[in-house]
């Protein structure tokens, strides 16, 4: 057996978890982990990563050249090809996955997304203008716009849940293994309701409902997932995830407070002057700007370590929660190596303007898949 941000409006963690997680994990690892392996149960190493005939570096260079030649238009087809390349590198019981999504589908999705964004921005502008937010009445307009804004943001938050579910369904239905594709058989609107009401628990609990919410939503998608007539089941324990979250929450919180205190000690007078004068001029002085950015960079850098630690715990939770055909997956990631790889991948994508994203995604998926094992699943005894 085996199976890959989040981003959730108005909440922390789950959004960058993401969202969703990196493309390689979300698009490849989950369906890979969800495949039945039959006689392969004799081994605990069910999933392997096989280097394709054309390297990911060669694919990246070719796609980047075609994207430049078409002024960016080929990027939709390039991303679909990169995902297909990554899927086919995953083998379960010796059989590769396949991905049948196309660039045309991505292009149409882009057009629909653009049209939706334009519609939402137009609605915001219309209601804001109607509330009097023009000329010198911007503050009054913002105050009056408060309730009209809810008429847009609340339905948008509800629709976001449906989009998340349908996106997973789309990827799974285009992921094939041994002549059958994966699928979700639940209702997107039902998932959207749970996605919607649980979102309000996150700010109320200062983020502590975030791991529970992300785990519940992920479990729902796993329980709705099947390959042919064989189903999946989520059995994850959120306790270990909360230990990582507590490290992030308390460690990151203390570092944030210490950084703010240091900001106050170094450029506090300029910050007060900016607040009292309602202008950024005091903060834009070269000495103040350099000192402020330096303190923020040095002070907040450790927070990134806590974030990556939680990210690794979330991926472990996703994979280790999955049961299929009486086998439970297990994943243990070396946290320092994972953090180093994530930073290195971000650096590669940044300096190449995204051209070498397939190389970075392949390194991440290879790193994770090589550490996935499985064990027999024993149902808990009810007393």
pLDDT per residue as tens, the chain (383 positions): 343 333 333 333 333 333 334 444 444 455 544 444 444 444 566 788 999 999 999 999 999 999 999 999 999 999 999 999 999 999 987 889 999 999 999 999 999 989 988 887 787 777 667 655 555 555 555 556 666 677 778 888 899 999 999 999 999 999 999 999 999 999 999 999 999 999 999 999 999 999 999 999 999 999 999 998 889 999 978 988 999 999 999 999 999 999 999 999 999 898 898 888 888 888 888 989 999 999 999 988 899 999 999 999 999 999 999 998 788 889 999 999 999 999 999 999 999 999 999 999 999 999 999 999 988 887 776 65
Q: Which two tokens stand for residue 113?
A: 């997304």
Looking up tokens 């057009």 gives 111
Q: How far apart are CA 321 and CA 318, in angstroms?
A: 6
CA 372 centroid distance within chain: 20
Q: Give, rounded to a whole angstrom, the gap between the first and last alpha carbons of the chain.
A: 29
Residue pair 6/20 in contact by the 8 Å Cβ criterion: yes
CA distances from 128 to 122, 131, 271 (A): 10, 5, 30
Q: Which two tokens stand for residue 212?
A: 């529970």
Residue pair 140/133 in contact by the 8 Å Cβ criterion: yes
pLDDT at site 180: 93
Q: For residue 249, what is the DSSP state?
A: I
Q: Which two tokens stand for residue 350?
A: 């940044």
Residue pair 234/222 in contact by the 8 Å Cβ criterion: yes
Q: How far apart are CA 296 and CA 274, in angstroms?
A: 18
State the pTM of this model: 0.81
Laid out side by side, the sheet with 95-96 consists of 47-49, 90-92, 95-96
Q: Is the dihedral of CA 113, 114, 117, 123 positive or negative?
A: negative
Q: How far apart are CA 304 and CA 346, in angstroms?
A: 13
Angle at 353 between CA 351 and CA 355, to 5 degrees: 105
């Amino acid at each position: 057996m085996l199976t890959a941000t989040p981003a959730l409006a108005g909440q922390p963690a789950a959004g960058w978890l993401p969202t969703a997680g990196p493309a390689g994990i979300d698009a490849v690892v989950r369906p890979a982990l969800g495949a039945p392996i039959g006689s392969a149960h004799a081994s605990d190493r069910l999933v392997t990563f096989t280097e394709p005939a054309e390297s990911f570096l060669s694919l990246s260079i070719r796609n980047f050249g075609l994207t430049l030649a078409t002024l960016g238009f080929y990027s939709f087809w390039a991303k679909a090809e990169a995902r297909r390349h990554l899927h086919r590198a995953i083998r379960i019981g010796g059989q590769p996955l396949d991905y049948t999504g196309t660039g045309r589908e991505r292009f149409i999705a882009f057009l629909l997304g653009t049209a939706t964004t334009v519609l939402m921005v137009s609605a915001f502008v219309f209601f804001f203008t109607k509330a009097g937010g023009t000329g010198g009445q911007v503050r009054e307009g913002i105050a009056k716009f408060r309730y009209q804004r809810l008429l847009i943001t609340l339905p948008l938050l509800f629709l976001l849940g449906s989009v998340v579910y349908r996106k997973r369904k789309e990827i799974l239905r285009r992921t094939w293994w041994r002549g059958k594709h994966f699928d979700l058989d639940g209702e997107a609107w039902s998932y959207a309701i749970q996605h919607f009401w649980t979102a309000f628990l996150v700010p109320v609990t200062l983020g502590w409902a975030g791991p529970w919410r992300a785990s519940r939503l992920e479990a729902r998608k796993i329980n709705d997932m099947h390959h042919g007539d064989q189903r999946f089941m989520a059995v994850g324990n959120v306790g270990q995830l909360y230990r990582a979250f507590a490290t992030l929450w308390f460690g990151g919180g203390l570092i944030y407070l210490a950084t703010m205190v240091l900001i106050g000690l170094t450029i506090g007078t300029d910050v007060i002057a900016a607040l009292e004068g309602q202008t950024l001029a005091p903060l834009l002085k070269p000495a103040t700007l350099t000192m402020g950015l330096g303190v923020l960079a040095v002070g907040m850098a450790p927070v990134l370590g806590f974030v990556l630690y939680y990210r690794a715990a979330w991926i472990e939770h996703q994979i280790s929660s999955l049961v299929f055909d009486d086998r439970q997956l297990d994943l243990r990631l070396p946290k320092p190596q994972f953090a180093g790889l994530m930073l290195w991948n971000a650096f590669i994508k940044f300096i190449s303007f995204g051209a070498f994203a397939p190389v970075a995604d392949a390194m991440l998926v290879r790193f994770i898949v090589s550490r996935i094992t499985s064990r027999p699943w024993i149902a808990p005894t009810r007393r």
